[in-house]
Amino acid sequence: MSPSSSIAAEPGAVPAPDEHHEHHPSYLVDGTTVKSWLLTLDHKRIGVMYLIWVLLFFLIGGIYALVVRLELLTPGPTIIDAMTYNRAFTMHGVVMIFLFMIPAIPGAFGNFMLPLMLGAKDVAFPRLNLLSLYLLLTGAVIAIWGMINGGMDTGWTFYTPYSTHTTTTVAPILFGAFIIGFSSIATGLNFIVTTHTMRAPGITWFKMPLFVWAMYATACIQVLATPVLGLVLLLVVGEHLFHFGIFDPAMGGDPVLFQHLFWFYSHPAVYIMVLPAFGVMSEVVAAFSRKNIFGYRAVAFSSLGIAFVGFFAWGHHMFVSGQSTFNAGVFAVLTMLVGVFTAIKVFNWVGTVYKGAVDFKTPFAYFCGFLYFTVFGGMTGVAFATASLDVPWHDTYFVVAHFHFIMVGATIMAFMAAIHYWFPKMFGKMYHEGWGLVSAALIILGFNATFIPQFLLGNAGMPRRYYEYPERFQTLNVASTAGASLLAFGFLISAIYLTYALVYGRRAASNPWRSKGYEWMTESPPPTHNFVGPQPTYPEEPHFYVEPKKAEVPDAV
């Protein structure tokens, strides 16, 4: 590469100052008062605020996780009493699910990237967008207030009739989750309308980046499933306060009905968490293999397919609830269909990497971890969908390991990949690549070390949500706790070098990865209205990479 042509494309190179920058400050510096952030209608600033909050929630959830893991270090009491333990794993689940996993990628990266990827100046309803952030925070404050004032011991699934009888603080926490549901609906609604109405000329449905497709499918689930959860949470709050008896068998109520309504939301909800991850990864794999995505339409449609069949699979949580054998069979088959759509994606990602010019940067390292967690976790899911296998594994650590692998593993990998891939886009800085890889390696290792022992524990019969366990399970529990510490350490490293990069990082080039994603067609960080001058045109498909062998010359431009 000749020095003159490569300067702009080199990571860390300082672009020559030009007039553009003086007249169009980046969204980061356009208004610096606190108010200009808190009341902003700019989707990028809202995205950044989401990012900050979900990271905080992740920290809170993570601390609870470590408390749980430390307690399980020894067979008997270790650091806390049984009741505190019950509260800790409940709060861990509630915080991680409702305050981290569900809002994380759509809230932070969806908000930031979706309009950029559609060539739009903002989302369709900017005020609603800001409102949805504040609804999330309102719900969080109410729920956290409840946690401090007593906490809740039902597990994040709130199963009745226990949840209507326990004396712990159920009402504020469920009410908080109810409000968070509105936030989720608002975000989904906004994204659907944005995708329908705000695409720039040239961006047809089949020229939308795959991340947009994934956000769109996620949004459909958010809009269609969350209202049912809203209703059922309200009912449980009412039950708890007034004991109407709708879900209480002692009063003629039907607790299985609660499970149906709850899982009608919560099973699709796992796709609310994991579809955005799939979307991120489709972007990352194309950018770092430097290849056009293999089977674009198949990847796009499989997102919709997952969203659709996801609505018919809830019964697999109820194989042991007295469901008829026929129902169990139907739900088993429907559940396995999800596996088919996921497999389509996996094959296409692998096909994309195949013969690509892989650029093994941190986001790609996370992609590798992601692929592994998705395949491994997904296969345990298919095993679970087999009703006869579910019976012995149900409510053991096998469940815990399964869902951590698939939804937490996959989603965290995507979340970390997204942070690294879009860091230069969002903040205009570069992080330290070496530390990035070290931290990715630790996190992936730590994850395995935490949850593989849990697969073994579950298979050996250790139930989940138990405070004490027989001596013979101790070795594996110690291994799992050690793994969790490694994991936490990995995240700590990331937190340090990313914060450092934010302040002292080298200025990034406007497209350090030489990515062809649409969001890179404007400056990094983007100006307030996303584009300076005339709107870009979109003659090519997204992720349109010239075949690697011929790529040398155009890449340097």
Q: Give residue 143's Cα distance to chain centre.
A: 20
Nearer to another protein by Cβ, of 60 and 261: the residue is 261
CA distance 258 to 246: 9
Strand, coil or helix: 81 = coil
Q: Taking CB within 5 to 8 Å according to partner kind, which of another protein, ligand HEM, Cu ion, none is near residue 146?
A: none
Structure tokens at 503: 């302040």
Nearer to another protein by Cβ, of 126 and 463: the residue is 126
**Is 36 a residue that touches another protein (CB under 8 A)?**
no
CA distance 407 to 412: 8
Q: In this structure, are residues 282 and 303 in contact, taking their beta carbons and an 8 Å threshold?
A: no
Considering the complex, what minimum distance in angstroms separates the CB of residue 282 from another protein? 25
Residue count, binding to another protein (CB under 8 A)? 40
Question: What are the φ/ψ torsions at residue 171 (nearest 5 degrees)?
Answer: -60, -55
DSSP 200: P
Considering the complex, what minimum distance in angstroms separates the CB of residue 406 from Cu ion? 10
Candidates 64-72, 106-114, 278-286, 342-350; binding stretch for ligand HEM (CB under 6 A): 64-72
CA distance 88 to 94: 10
Residue 212: name the closest of 123, 132, 315 by CA: 123
CA distance 449 to 489: 13
Residue tagged 């300082």 (tokens): 14
Question: What are the φ/ψ torsions at residue 556 (nearest 5 degrees)?
Answer: -75, -15
Q: Taking CB within 5 to 8 Å according to partner kind, which of another protein, Cu ion, ligand HEM, none is near residue 267?
A: Cu ion
Entry field: residues in the chain: 557
Structure tokens at 221: 């689930």
**Is 402 a residue that touches Cu ion (CB under 5 A)?**
no
- Pick from 267, 402, 404, 543: which binds Cu ion (CB under 5 A)? 267
Q: Taking CB within 5 to 8 Å according to partner kind, which of Cu ion, another protein, ligand HEM, none is near residue 243?
A: another protein
Nearer to ligand HEM by Cβ, of 217 and 407: the residue is 407
Considering the complex, what minimum distance in angstroms separates the CB of residue 203 from ligand HEM? 33
CA distance 111 to 122: 9
- The identity of residue 301, as a single letter, is F
**Is 227 a residue that touches another protein (CB under 8 A)?**
yes
CA distance 285 to 244: 52
Give the ranges where 203-254 is alpha helix by DSSP (H): 210-242
Considering the complex, what minimum distance in angstroms separates the CB of residue 92 from ligand HEM? 6
**Is 165 a residue that touches ligand HEM (CB under 6 A)?**
no
Residue count, binding to ligand HEM (CB under 6 A)? 23
Give the binding site for ligand HEM (CB under 6 A). 62, 65, 68-69, 89-90, 92-93, 96-97, 100-101, 155-156, 400, 404, 408, 412, 450, 464-465, 484, 487
Give the binding site for Cu ion (CB under 5 A). 267
Give the binding site for another protein (CB under 8 A). 120-126, 128, 185, 189-190, 192-194, 196-198, 223-224, 226-228, 230-232, 235, 238, 242-246, 251-254, 257, 260-261, 529
